[in-house]
Structure 1
């Protein structure tokens, strides 16, 4: 989906229109969609809840709440507040959900009038024989592995179990089926522990917070610094003050023109024990930085009382879940260490909700959504859990130099083709890299919608990805009988399947080239 703001009156925030417009497009299209979805802004002004307040009104609002919901339930809540009470927030969420229903009804009418039939999503089931075989091997070993109090020991025990399963069942079933059945057993064990036993698999209570520690004044040459640790998650935040003329200039769609409080969040690969390229900030860094910034902003002194530009930089030193909320805690401490007269201390904690198909639900305090790739998924059934795992794995993959990917051609330019090699991640195949011979026009080789196999040759310092199909053809030419196919991918089922191209585009004859 591409959302473009064509006109902004600087009175109403266009963000909710983007959500509603996206929902409308998906609802009337053939794309499978569990909507419609609607979104509204809720403010609290003069002791009254206000639906869709203007940007000017939000300046005086105790609450700035965004509520997105379907006909049945709330799917997203985002908020900033001037220390609003839980009762006000609860009333506002309910008010927003009710307001969404009229917009949802309008979308349903539009869908009935001009909507296309939805494409059926293919489903896959795990072979029950594999599940039975896996269960007989792991037996009580899985519970013992998950019950390890420390994450490294748990990971080692699970890895050993996987290895044992593959060695013992490898002759009867594929490794993919074995590991898929094993992950299903792991998720089931986690859900049983939380919903039925009332505790997490490592023995931590549902409301129990991991061990906490904090230090301030660690860096002698900065205005303020603080180190906050929760479990194995650790964040160092540095405060720097500057003159008011150093505030950031803004050129956005809102009424704000300058910004004197800036929070930067850095998530280096070493925080999860990984080796990755360090480049420009990604969506994750930008989003987490904005989240923590919004949490701190209400307690800062007014401009006239404290005429300085304030910059916070949160460095994630170790990640084992909830680094954004650890950044909030470290930021609050660092501000106080710098002597900035904030109104009160601020703390953040990640909360979770686990439900089942029977309507049972459990609230988790300090959820351990591990940012190194381990994600706790709550779902009503195995099929939904498998879909969630697949989506998360695709979204969190990193593009690697030298990696070979099969992607979809998204756009054609005179100088090359842009190919989506991972969800939301595109690269450029220059015209000189499309084939192992000279290409006159990009359209002679590929079209929008084609699926081609490419190799990542470079990621520049701005994060731009350069791809080569020629490099893949060169490698395959060294393998007898090997070839590369260009076709429409099954991963993109919303276009009609065309005939599969030959293994390679034929090389133009010499006479034609001349």
Structure 2
């Protein structure tokens, strides 16, 4: 067994190998505090045939025993990956994938299993480190180790690997993955963080990452094995040359067609002509692969050398943007956001506290009152394919848009609604996640959600060749496919709320990261100006079709009275008014209903039950019991007092039964509350005051 350790963020991070999972090609036991993950990697011995991609799969598994819990449900065992597991798997995949050699086609599977969780140290960061270390010490041709760190900030002070509590209560949450000298991946959310502060966090994170890389190098030196050599699955140069001669001139014209559908049809025609021309001499898959490479070459050269993009724009130009709101008559809020040939319809729905999402994972059971769901139907790219369940890409894009908008939402005390936004992509030609941010913001404003300020998103691309590089704003699908970077930034005019950076090269320099952030800022502000011309503030009122909600606070001592024995009182109010009532332990009561009338009726009933009696006030009470010295009258649920026989009438009363009977309604005035809390009423005084 080999172990290395270092102090990171005031805690010991350790990496061990050689004692567990020895049948895997690489296995590393990672411990940070009392959180433990096991990262294993296995590669097939031969490449997969007839594919043009690298078959890497990353699985992140949370074991409920890690926090001493038994899974819920009928089967009492972990099932399909939950949302957090899917997003953590994507987080691990993205910095590792570009570091494998080009042309490597062996299946590689990375599995990260959370074995122990202290709910202080997050296992996703440890998963990235463990996966990198396991690949690095194995015989798999992965030769560039990755460091990962989470940066938080509280009261303007940066924190390395904040605890779960510090992360949730902080001003930003940044995951940065780096090689020794370059940035590989960024995933961030923040409360309108400035570009300068974000850069500072990334630079500090890079320093920490380098120390973690040093640990992996030490582990490989002690326990690593010789790397396998592999033969790249590349097409023979002579075949590439023949296809180039046949197709290059036509492609140079076709690539610059701005309309996506027309362009794709023209490219398909060139491929079919090449297949017919070469017959069985060259495989169809090879022809398609080479045509793809030729397109990539044309697009990249045009951007890098001429500053010209495939759709004719300059490097900083935005595509045409249009915004519409209120496009659907019965929804609570709706919008269509169109940027070039990317289009989404976003719909906001308002619900009650009963609609909150319950999230149960190893960090505990929590509730979410804001959700953003992203759908990517096949027609949006002109394809016909089966509609499956929500895919990992859809979950990732939805999560990015959700955390980008979340910082500007009102608190529950100000706006007690559960909010769901759905972004249905109608047309896709690049950066649909950022279109979802823009469309989602417009739909929320149309729904009357009082967001603090609008949010917009944009993506910046990169083409790099040696010393030369070019950054370009608002990337299309082709530029995403053939470029080196997809640098998505969302935020307000004040600052950044969300970032996601994916790359296809061996890292980004600090200069490129800084330039991309400020270039995105300029574009984001321009988009916000366009959005504000359509709707510049949230609607004054929510939709008439949305539920009506009112929040009030009652004394904690009154909760029992409101609920009643076995819930009898509250159930009666709900049945009578058709409103929904939720009572919290601190006395907060949320009343919701289909209309104002139902809510107001419920509020009146609650007020009657929970109101405090006041000396000198007149009440209509009900006679509960008759004694020889007077009658006991209930004026509110649980609040009763005595009307002495002398207070029943202005004339002499011999028998209480001569004036009242049990069950009678009796007008009374509260005369006093004695030192024992007893209520003394007078019917005589009430009658005199009414006269």
What is aligned with 1:395?
none
What is aligned with 1:512?
none
1:272 to 381, 389, 398: 381
Q: Whole-Å Cα distance in 2 between the matches of residues 211 and 88 of structure 1?
A: 31
Q: Contact (CA 8 Å) 1:191, 1:378: kept in 2 or not?
A: no
Q: Contact (CA 8 Å) 2:350, 2:420: kept in 1 or not?
A: yes
Q: Whole-Å Cα distance in 2 between the matches of residues 81 and 256 of structure 1?
A: 23
Comparing 319-328 with 265-274, greater Cα deviation is found at 265-274
1:11 to 120, 131, 141: 120
Change (3 A) 1:224 1:112: same
Q: Whole-Å Cα distance in 2 between the matches of residues 159 and 133 of structure 1?
A: 18
Say whether residues 1:68 and 2:174 are aligned partners: no
Query: What is the CA-CA distance between 1:161 and the residue it aligns to?
Result: 2.1
Query: What is the CA-CA distance between 1:117 and the residue it aligns to?
Result: 1.0
Deviations 1:178-197 (A, max 9, x none): 44333322221111111111
Query: What is the CA-CA distance between 1:211 and the residue it aligns to?
Result: 1.1
Deviations 1:227-268 (A, max 9, x none): 111111111111111112321122123367111111111112
What is aligned with 1:345?
454
**Where do 1:350-369 residues align within 5 Å?**
350-356=459-465, 358-369=466-477
What is aligned with 2:148?
39
- Give unmatched runs, 5+ long, in structure 1: 387-514
Q: Whole-Å Cα distance in 1 between the matches of residues 150 and 323 of structure 2?
A: 36
Query: What is the CA-CA distance between 1:75 and the residue it aligns to?
Result: 0.9
**Where do 1:336-415 residues align within 5 Å?**
336-356=445-465, 358-369=466-477, 375-378=481-484
TM-score (norm 1): 0.70
Q: Contact (CA 8 Å) 1:13, 1:254: kept in 2 or not?
A: no
Q: Secondary structure at the match of 2:316?
A: coil
Q: Whole-Å Cα distance in 2 between the matches of residues 370 and 136 of structure 1?
A: 23
What is aligned with 1:282?
391
Change (3 A) 1:292 1:256: farther
Q: Secondary structure at the match of 1:68?
A: strand
Deviations 1:193-227 (A, max 9, x none): 11111121231222211111111111111111111
What is aligned with 2:662?
none
Query: What is the CA-CA distance between 1:302 and the residue it aligns to?
Result: 0.9
**Where do 1:95-110 residues align within 5 Å?**
95-110=204-219
**Where do 1:422-461 residues align within 5 Å?**
none
Q: Whole-Å Cα distance in 1 between the matches of residues 355 and 280 of structure 2?
A: 66
Q: Whole-Å Cα distance in 2 between the matches of residues 215 and 377 of structure 1?
A: 31
1:119 to 225, 228, 233: 228
Deviations 1:37-56 (A, max 9, x none): 11101112222221111121
What is aligned with 1:295?
404
- Give unmatched runs, 5+ long, in structure 2: 1-109, 486-502, 506-691
Query: What is the CA-CA distance between 1:125 and the residue it aligns to?
Result: 4.3
Say whether residues 1:202 and 2:311 are aligned partners: yes
Structure with higher strand content: 2
Q: Secondary structure at the match of 2:269?
A: helix
Aligned length: 379
**Where do 1:78-157 residues align within 5 Å?**
78-157=187-266
Q: Contact (CA 8 Å) 1:10, 1:55: kept in 2 or not?
A: yes
Q: Secondary structure at the match of 2:209?
A: helix
Q: Whole-Å Cα distance in 1 between the matches of residues 310 and 368 of structure 2?
A: 44
Change (3 A) 1:139 1:289: closer
**Where do 1:165-244 residues align within 5 Å?**
165-170=274-279, 173-244=282-353
Query: What is the CA-CA distance between 1:35 and the residue it aligns to?
Result: 2.6
2:162 to 53, 64, 89: 53
**Where do 1:247-262 residues align within 5 Å?**
247-254=356-363, 257-262=366-371
Q: Whole-Å Cα distance in 2 between the matches of residues 59 and 282 of structure 1?
A: 27
Change (3 A) 1:313 1:125: closer
Q: Whole-Å Cα distance in 2 between the matches of residues 385 and 42 of structure 1?
A: 24
What is aligned with 1:449?
none
What is aligned with 2:548?
none
Q: Whole-Å Cα distance in 2 between the matches of residues 23 and 209 of structure 1?
A: 37
Q: Whole-Å Cα distance in 2 between the matches of residues 181 and 238 of structure 1?
A: 42
Q: Contact (CA 8 Å) 1:319, 1:370: kept in 2 or not?
A: no
Query: What is the CA-CA distance between 1:120 and the residue it aligns to?
Result: 1.2
Q: Whole-Å Cα distance in 2 between the matches of residues 295 and 328 of structure 1?
A: 7
Say whether residues 1:321 and 2:435 are aligned partners: no
Q: Whole-Å Cα distance in 2 between the matches of residues 299 and 211 of structure 1?
A: 26
Change (3 A) 1:56 1:272: same
Q: Contact (CA 8 Å) 1:350, 1:367: kept in 2 or not?
A: yes
Q: Secondary structure at the match of 2:337?
A: strand
Deviations 1:59-85 (A, max 9, x none): 332211000111231111000000000
Q: Whole-Å Cα distance in 2 between the matches of residues 125 and 22 of structure 1?
A: 27
Comparing 38-47 with 121-130, greater Cα deviation is found at 121-130
Q: Secondary structure at the match of 1:120?
A: coil
Q: Whole-Å Cα distance in 2 between the matches of residues 333 and 194 of structure 1?
A: 33
Structure with the greater alpha carbon radius of gyration: 2
Q: Contact (CA 8 Å) 2:347, 2:421: kept in 1 or not?
A: yes
Change (3 A) 1:318 1:190: same
Q: Secondary structure at the match of 1:44?
A: strand
Query: What is the CA-CA distance between 1:162 and the residue it aligns to?
Result: 2.1
What is aligned with 1:28?
137
Q: Contact (CA 8 Å) 2:370, 2:406: kept in 1 or not?
A: yes
Q: Secondary structure at the match of 1:82?
A: strand
Q: Secondary structure at the match of 2:389?
A: coil
Query: What is the CA-CA distance between 1:34 and the residue it aligns to?
Result: 3.3
Q: Contact (CA 8 Å) 2:302, 2:309: kept in 1 or not?
A: yes
